[in-house]
Amino acid sequence: MDAKVKEFMDYVVATNPAEREFHQAVHEVAENLIPFIEENPKYKAARILERMIEPERVVMFRVPWIDDRGELQVNRGYRIEMNSAIGPYKGGMRFHPTVNLGILKFLAFEQVFKNSLTSLPLGGGKGGSDFDPKGKTDNEVMRFCQSLMTELSRHIGPDTDVPAGDIGVGGREVGYMFGQYKRIINEFTGVFTGKGIEYGGSLIRPEATGYGAVYFAEEMLASINEGFKGKVVSISGSGNVSQFAAEKVIELGGKVVTLSDSTGYIYDKDGIDEEKLEYVKELKNVKRGRISEYATKYNCKYVDGVSRPWDEQADIVLPCATENEITGEDAKKLLDNGCICISEGANMPSTPEAVDLFIKNKILYGPGKAANAGGVATSGLEMSQNSIKMSWTREEVDEKLHNIMINIHKTCVEFGKEGDFTNYVKGANIGGFVKVADAMIAQGHV
Ligand code: NDP
């Protein structure tokens, strides 16, 4: 079987050179899917995996915009329309200087499996730009978003492709992009999710990815008769996903001791309580400051230049910043320090070496495509509310989100059980694959 995986990966690397993160994401899936496909020849005959790694469409375009000094800037915009077998393309937009084709293809590929796991009718896509919103004024961000949308508006639509936020794209950016789309198309539709509550957004959408990752962890912990109460929890990042993961952990009685950003991490041995978390939200979402300011305000440890808090002891770890932020060495440290559970708020935050160690040591390890699916699931709920032109209450949306996370956990157990152990990676990969693959077979060679 290893030879078959190697042969497939040689083909992927040869046909998509220099797309390291895409190779990594495909390899992780291929390791579980190739043996499954061998046992289920209908998928082999239809060459489903070979088709799934090929985006249905990739759009790449120039984004010119004028900065506050009156100078012309040029960035690159992308939209990867990966798979529409079970619904319109759906996935966030990322604005970060590291964005390139390979990163967005990895994210779009994972999105296909993740969206299928939610059980909602959502295809997979992803997009973004190498634009860096950090240090830009609101007017500069607006001019950039308007220029990007002037081109992107030709390719998206409420029944075609529905973007949302991701790293560097929050409520402000979604608002500017939605406004420009509406102006160009002259229609008020649910073309974006993560919108403001005043103009078609859903309650709980901002909270959904972080809350969902904690709900998923709760299910994993319950399977070994454990819970968050009294547990020390380490979280990386301090953006949207991290803030609401922290909020839910605090509510469930866990003690959050770390947060980070790209310049360093804080360790608060007394725990981040509700009041301190409100300060973080104001610092990051309104003042757009650095996490080091938390350490000055609350007089706690700050480690400059290290954006990963994995040296600190924690029972439960929620990586919520970015890809490949837990290396094999980090994983070893976490295990040596007694970590029993990892639930990934971020996409692909663990390197293959780290994933291998988690699985070999049989700890509770929830990969991003399952654990952080709450964000896109609630985006699906936002689309439903837009379609029926109604808004559900906070409690209604939260309950639906919670049930979706419970069901994703069940699917992972169904497809990932190996004796007493649940291999959640295998469960998520096969569980996400089957529905998309069957829909592709039904729709013929498209
Ligand atoms: P935000 O932009 O709100 O926050 C990202 C956080 O991670 C910031 O603290 C940022 O620090 C830090 N970070 C980003 N890039 C790096 C890097 N290269 N090295 C170190 N730190 C970094 O993004 P989100 O919270 O929305 O997204 C976080 C993760 O969750 C991503 O992997 C995203 O794909 C994933 N995700 C998000 C969903 C959503 O609904 N938003 C849905 C599903 C997954 P700094 O401010 O210094 O840049």
For residue 262, the CA-to-ligand 1 centroid distance in Å is 10
Residue 1 lies in a domain: no
Residue whose CA is closest, atom 47 of ligand 1?
262
Q: Distances from the Cα of 58 to the Cαs of 83, 152, 153, 191, 208, in angstroms? A: 11, 12, 14, 19, 28
Q: Are residues 173 and 217 in the same domain?
A: no
- 282 Cβ contact partners less than 8 Å away, ≥ 6 residues apart: none
Cα 119 from Cα 86, distance rounded (Å):
10
Q: Are residues 212 and 361 in the same domain?
A: yes
**pLDDT value at position 307?**
85
Residue 442 lies in a domain: no
Write the DSSP assignment of 369-423 as a string of letters: HHHTTHHHHHHHHHHHHHHHT----HHHHHHHHHHHHHHHHHHHHHHHEETTEE-
Q: Are residues 262 and 169 in the same domain?
A: no
Give the count of domains, the chain. 2
372 lines ligand 1 (CB under 6 A): yes
Which residue of the set 126, 195, 284, 435 is catalytic?
A: 126
Residue 43 lies in a domain: no
Q: Are residues 159 and 240 in the same domain?
A: no
Q: Are residues 258 and 157 in the same domain?
A: no
Q: Give the residue numbers spanning the domain of 80.
A: 57-186
User: Which CATH number is 91's domain given?
Assistant: 3.40.50.10860
Strand 124-129 with 72-83, pairing: antiparallel
Residue whose CA is closest, atom 10 of ligand 1?
261
Strand 255-261 with 264-267, pairing: antiparallel
Residue 331 lies in a domain: yes
Residue 24 lies in a domain: no
Q: Are residues 150 and 72 in the same domain?
A: yes
Residue whose CA is closest, atom 32 of ligand 1?
346
Residue 161 lies in a domain: yes
Q: Is 231 noted as a catalytic residue in this protein?
A: no
Bridge partners of 256? 233
Residue with tokens 């699917």: 411
For residue 420, the CA-to-ligand 1 centroid distance in Å is 34
Residue 125 lies in a domain: yes
Q: Are residues 274 and 231 in the same domain?
A: yes
Cα 431 from Cα 293, distance rounded (Å):
43
Q: Which atom of ligand 1 is nearest to the CA of 261?
A: 11
For residue 278, the CA-to-ligand 1 centroid distance in Å is 18
User: Which CATH number is 248's domain given?
Assistant: 3.40.50.720
Q: Are residues 120 and 158 in the same domain?
A: yes
167, 202, 303, 320, best to mutate for ligand 1 pocket (most atoms within 8 Å of CB): 167
Q: Are residues 82 and 220 in the same domain?
A: no
Across the chain, which has 446 residues, the per-10-residue mean pLDDT values are: 93 97 98 97 97 98 98 98 98 98 98 98 98 97 98 98 97 98 97 97 98 98 98 98 98 98 98 98 96 98 95 98 98 98 98 98 98 98 96 98 98 97 98 98 96
Q: Are residues 158 and 74 in the same domain?
A: yes
For residue 441, the CA-to-ligand 1 centroid distance in Å is 35
For residue 9, the CA-to-ligand 1 centroid distance in Å is 28
235 lines ligand 1 (CB under 6 A): no
Q: Which atom of ligand 1 is nearest to the CA of 379?
A: 40
**pLDDT value at position 221?**
98
Residue 379 lies in a domain: no
Q: Are residues 164 and 223 in the same domain?
A: no
Domain boundary among 345, 366, 387: 366
